[in-house]
Amino acid sequence: MSTSQPQLRFIYWFAYYHFDSPSVRYRAQYPLDYFKEKKQVESWLIVPGYHPGKIMAFLRAYFSALLFRRKHSVIVNQRVQSNFIYARLLKLLLQVQK
């Protein structure tokens, strides 16, 4: 008898830079598009920024992942190496959530 893992349903992806970066496009945006099309996995791709809309999107995703994390979801933190607020909050999120 084999035990199957629950199917992935949602991905919280926190990128380290904006969409002009090839790293964000090829390592985040394109794979997430593939998962949505082929596997019906929804996602949030969050990129840092100082504009109010970007800050609100980050806070929405962050607190959703921290307090109300969806079942069968994963949190991806794409290379955070700084000590700015964005990086510190993501490090805290990964320490609190498994």
CATH number, domain containing residue 23? 3.40.50
Residue 86 lies in a domain: yes
Residue 1: pLDDT above 60?
A: no
Domain count, the chain: 1
Residue 20 lies in a domain: yes
Residue 74 lies in a domain: yes
Across the chain, what does the average pLDDT equal? Answer: 87
* pLDDT digit string, tens, across residues 59-95: 999 999 999 999 999 999 887 677 788 888 988 898 8
Report the range out of 3-12, 35-44, 48-57, 81-90 with the highest average pLDDT.
Answer: 35-44
3-state secondary structure of 92: helix
* Nearest alpha carbon to residue 15 among 41, 48, 44: 48
Residue 25 lies in a domain: yes
Q: How many CA atoms within 13 Å lie on the side-chain side of 59? A: 7
